[in-house]
Structure 1
Amino acid sequence: MKKLIVLFTLFSLACNTTAQQEKQTQTEKKFEVEKSEQEWKSELSEMEFQVLRKAATERAFSSSLNNIKKAGTFVCAACENPLYKTKDKFNSGTGWPSFDRAIEGSLAYSSDRKLGYKRDEALCGKCGGHLGHIFEDGPRETTGMRHCINGVALKFVPDEKEK
């Protein structure tokens, strides 16, 4: 019995160490656009700052981007990195802009356990801003993925022919 307890303890410590190392690696990632907290605060609205830099979540159904159907690109509100295309947007009924895929190479990924379970987090690949989370309950006829993104983290740029 003592051996079992010792083994369990060692296993738990090993898992914890690995998770801590993984988290350090994620936070040490260097992004192309890096600014101080003060610089971000001076450039972003309070809500943009809270969502993009502090990983807050905007209120459901509060984004004007939920209803956009025009052809265009959704870019990061902090650095204008192109992230999503309108053609990949769908109405998930969740109250946040939802996409079944991102523009290839536009995102970085992390995970959080704020709600007591692991969630895959979508970050802007250029500035590291928190965008939202990725779930596996999207449209089965496409990717099956749902990128649930805070509208305040995005700006919409219509295609030239739509302007």
Structure 2
Amino acid sequence: MATEIEKTDAQWREELTPEQYAVLRQAGTERAFTGKYWDAHEDGMYRCAGCGAELFSSDTKFESGSGWPSFTEPAFAANVETKQDVSHGMIRTEVLCKRCGGHLGHVFPDGPREAGGLRYCINSAALDLETK
């Protein structure tokens, strides 16, 4: 995937916390119910912790019970990209920041029906909340 922001591995390691690096650059997953935004209720815009791209609005955040921040849709579809993920013996749809290529989480078809049926299950470590 060609991205707008290209950095070396050393640059990413220097700029990100170890947890952010593990999630954004190594497609890691934080443990459920441990991230700082899984139970956040503030209004604002969730941005990519790697590059600052606007990803998800608090208006689309919902309580999924999964232990990760869950959203019904991206704030700007052009800022995210999805691809098939066949790791860990499963077939899932990975969600990436289109601007920097950072791994954000996965999208599942078990979200609220009235909002389109999708659940963007996103790692808190991949996000920075800019409150209103």
| Same-fold status (TM-score > 0.5) | yes
Mean CA deviation greater in 106-115 or 81-90: 106-115
Shift of 1:117: 2.4
Give the one of 114, 121, 126 matched to 1:148.
121
1:23-55 Cα distance to aligned partner (Å, 9 max, x none): xxxxxx210111010100000011100100000
Secondary structure in 1 matching 2:89: coil
Match of 1:12? none
Give the one of 34, 40, 50 matched to 1:78.
50
Match of 1:6? none
Match of 1:118? 91
Distance 2:42 2:49 in 1: 18
Letter of the aligned partner of 2:112 in structure 1?
P
Letter of the aligned partner of 1:101 in structure 2?
E
Alignment of 1:93 onto 2:65? yes
Structure 2 unaligned segments of length 5 or more: list them: none
* CA RMSD in angstroms, aligned pairs only: 0.8
Higher share in helix: 1
Match of 1:45? 17
Shift of 1:112: 1.2
Shift of 1:115: 2.3
Give the one of 80, 84, 109 matched to 1:107.
80
Shift of 1:132: 0.2
1:53-79 Cα distance to aligned partner (Å, 9 max, x none): 000100110012122222200000010
Distance 1:145 1:109 in 2: 13
Secondary structure in 1 matching 2:120: strand
Secondary structure in 1 matching 2:10: helix
1:115-150 Cα distance to aligned partner (Å, 9 max, x none): 212110000010000000000000011110000000
Stretches of 4+ aligned residues off by more than 4 angstroms: none
Secondary structure in 2 matching 1:141: helix
Distance 2:75 2:120 in 1: 12
Structure 1 unaligned segments of length 5 or more: list them: 1-28
The structure having more radius of gyration, on CA atoms, is 1
Give me the identity figure in percent: 42
Distance 2:66 2:39 in 1: 13
Shift of 1:86: 0.3
